[in-house]
Amino acid sequence: MSNKIAGARKKLQRVYELDFLDAPFEIEQEVGTTTTICSTTTTKSDDQQQSQQQRQLEWWTSRTAMVSLGYFPTVRAVVTAGSPYRTEPFGIIKLMEEQQKEEEKEQEEEEEGKNIPKLHFAGETDSMVPIESTKLLCEHGGNGRIIIHEKGHLFPTKAAYVNEMLDFLELSLESADSK
């Protein structure tokens, strides 16, 4: 391809670095299916070029859309000539985009959950939920604060704990309202 577009290549190379990659899928003429080959060489001997001219290669198959799916993360632009439109790769792209959006949404929701201010009470004599378990919840649940009281498995009602909870709620709700 580099030789075939020599005139345009010379002008383009004044501004851009060009790479000419062979498509990775060979079209089998008899059956009409494709098989994968590994060939990304940009310089070839005469024998290789002649062999290349006899083979027909393609970038698109029903299984993958190559650049669109991120197989070449450094590619910043694509120019094609004589490339057919096929619905299958775009269907795959759409499914992958939907899956990615769903994963991003789940991650966003998880991150939002971690950013919600949390106040955890843990009792020193709690035989049902050990303090270490509540500490782990505080660490992994994100943005948590733990207050350890001298009682067991209960919600503390002493004025000092109630006041800490009121202060926590006031600060948290003010912060949430300002967003």
Q: State residue 41's pLDDT score.
A: 41
User: Which of 54, 88, 122 delimits the end of a domain?
Assistant: 88
Res. 69: pLDDT tops 50: yes
123 versus 65: which is more confidently predicted?
123
Are 119 and 80 in a shared domain?
no
Contacts of 113 (CB under 8 A, 6+ apart): 141, 142
User: Which of 88, 117, 144 delimits the end of a domain?
Assistant: 88
Question: What is the rounded CA–CA span in Å between residue 122 and residue 106?
Answer: 29
The residue range of the domain holding 140 is 109-172
Are 80 and 13 in a shared domain?
yes
Are 160 and 116 in a shared domain?
yes
User: Above pLDDT 90, what percent of the chain?
Assistant: 16
Res. 55: pLDDT tops 90: no
134-174 confidence digits (pLDDT tens): 988 888 777 788 999 999 998 888 989 999 999 998 888 88
Band (pLDDT 50/70/90 cuts) for residue 60 is low
Q: Which residues of 138-172 are buried (b: 16+ CB within 10 A; e: fewer)?
A: beeeeebeeeebebeeeebeeeebeebeeeeeeee
Are 77 and 148 in a shared domain?
no
Count structural domains, the chain.
2
Are 116 and 165 in a shared domain?
yes
* Token representation of residue 5: 């577009």
Are 79 and 19 in a shared domain?
yes
Band (pLDDT 50/70/90 cuts) for residue 34 is very low
Q: What's the sign of the alpha-carbon dihedral 31, 37, 39, 40? A: positive
Res. 122: pLDDT tops 90: yes
73-105 confidence digits (pLDDT tens): 776 676 666 566 667 777 877 888 898 899 998
Band (pLDDT 50/70/90 cuts) for residue 37 is very low
Q: Coil, helix or strand for 135?
A: helix
What pTM was estimated for this model as a whole?
A: 0.42
Q: State residue 42's pLDDT score.
A: 41
Average pLDDT of span 39-56:
53
